[in-house]
Structure 1
Amino acid sequence: MTSEVVELTRDLVAIPSHEDETLAGNYVEEWLDRETDADVTRDGAGNVIARRGSGGETLALVGHHDVVEPAPPQRIADTGKYVVERRGDRLYGRGAADMKGAVAAAMVAFRDVDPAGELVFASFVGEEVGGVGARHAIDEGFAPDYAVVGEGSTNYSGPDVTDVVVAHKGRRGSTIVASGAAAHASEVDAGENAIYRATDVVSLVRGIEPPSLEVAGETIEGSVVVTEIEGGTAMNVVPARCELTVDERTVPGERAPLERVESIEGVEWIVDQDLPPMRCDDDAFADTVLDAADAAQSGSPSLVTKPHATDAGWLSAAGTECVVCGPSEPGEAHTDDESVSVTVLERCSETYRRVAERWPR
């Protein structure tokens, strides 16, 4: 028999949501209105937020219903819908792992649980393009005390186990502009070579020691790397401008000192994207989620870290204590054959239900 979580996942995955999340949001909103007695709202960005229960601190089950663009085999020609296919214990389709499966698991848990306090369900838009929905919700006052974000945490500590992520990296992307003065290449001293200034930037960046952090017995290591360079207009012209891009993976609490590049004459540093890292500082909450995950599976889950930024970073930066727990496995998200385990979908829904029964204390 196919479970309700699987059917919900199938329905959600089939709905296109890589350019416009409206239809997927409509489905989630209408299901919650029909199946629960919650107060269901849709904000100006398109986020679906529902609340039930009362008293004390607030726990949120958080996901997102946007996806990255599907590969051609993941779309049904002439209909716009996405292909969804079950093969054995796995469901295949764009968004099955990242992360409509987790949204479906949270929807069922949200409906079925008798919550210990105020329970919130939130499915955001725009996670794949920088956390647009989460940032909008936070700006509008979305501020749960605690959150379980349903991004991937399965098979991190070992096979067939869904772990609990207590910290993850962020990402800061920068453009560094080196400016000089153009001149004919036969009169080198008449100009200021922007490429030479850019090479000074490269040397400085290569010498930066990225920060690292010990969490849950693991070391989260930051990184900083020059990823692109472009400059010059012609073979016989001293270049007046050269641009670099830098990818930096950040860790909670500390950043690489990239501002040092502006100590070089003619250099400007521009931050293009800054996705914050996350760390859970409430051990009791993390242990409660770990106990719930342990009770929902035969394997032995662990507290782990994650290399990827998620909406938990935005929530954590706004003051919410977060963990990440969800069905997606390493290597599944954004792939041409993206899939999720049916067994793990059920496992995650049961985990969310157990957490909501016990937390807030």
Structure 2
Amino acid sequence: MTQAPTTRLLYSQDGFPVFQNRMYASVEDARNCPKGDIRLVEDLTTGLVRNDAFDPALVDYDASYQNEQANSAPFRAHLEWAADLITRHMGSDNLVEVGCGKGTFLEMLADRGVSITGFDPTYEGDNPLIEKCYFGPELGLEARGMILRHVLEHIPDPYAFLCQLRDANGGGGLIYIEVPCLDWICEGRCWFDIFYEHVNYFRLSDFGKMFGSVMTMGRCFGGQYLYVIADLGSLRPPEYDPANTAPFPDDFTQTLDDIAATTTPADVIWGGASKGVIYALLAARAGAPVKAVIDINPNKQQRYLAGTGLQVRAPQDVLPGLPPAARILIMNPNYSAEIRQMSDNAFTYVEVGK
């Protein structure tokens, strides 16, 4: 008897950088970075979407991982919005941020008078509010609310991880979750928004299946992210719904297939983070390499992107040498107004993915 399939293949690519946000000191190191494959599948038991080729042994975050976006005013505005939402629903006492990274969001909340503790084993600063370890039951803490921003997409078994957080927190408590939105990726055919280190790709319906009690949920940051505030005590196993399958379009890579015909030799990427890394990589493979990469994050400048080895440079180091006909490829449309202002609106601007 033929066994029924347990997954449905949605999308595949080979040789992606394991860390699209790890910066390198040389072109050679960047091009020879660790790589892994993408095999996005829909699980026909849970209905969740994951990279079936993900190997957690390849993933080791360190100080060269640069994912800080708070240098940009639009992203700071998003963080303020998230802080307002969290304090409105969770209050300002006894909060915990799991996977707080470099502590930017935690410190923003603390500056508002929020009583909060952060946990992240990779944290390298000296803020006494942040513990350099994982959150677990051995700590003896029971938070009123937990914050999980851009962590769950990196976890191989997200439901089991949420169960661990629930149990470590005494069986309940509220949780704020923020993750990238699979529907946004599919709607815009954003092939440059699929990354190796993102094991999971979520839809709002996934959280409706996993939580029996949801305070609020929706899309934010221009539709690119999902947010949910739910009761951890209401967790339940997600189940596949054949009437609500993952909406992966057949023409997902159409713009990538056409890219060689539309790219010019003077094309410049603005945004040396995840989107820019994958766009540059697949564009080069399609025979349409970009001229340069701009980013305002000083920790990225003069370093090199994983995969292509392109050097990231400051705006003032690139813009004066560009011809008037140059195209600036804006990797994230949320930053369009800021980018146009910083470049005196002097070029042709393409909002990639719109």
Q: Same fold (TM over 0.5)?
A: no
Larger Rg belongs to: 1
Higher relative contact order, structure no. (Cα contacts within 8 Å, ≥ 6 residues apart): 1
Normalised TM-score (structure 1): 0.20
Normalised TM-score (structure 2): 0.20
Structure having the larger proportion of residues in strand: 1
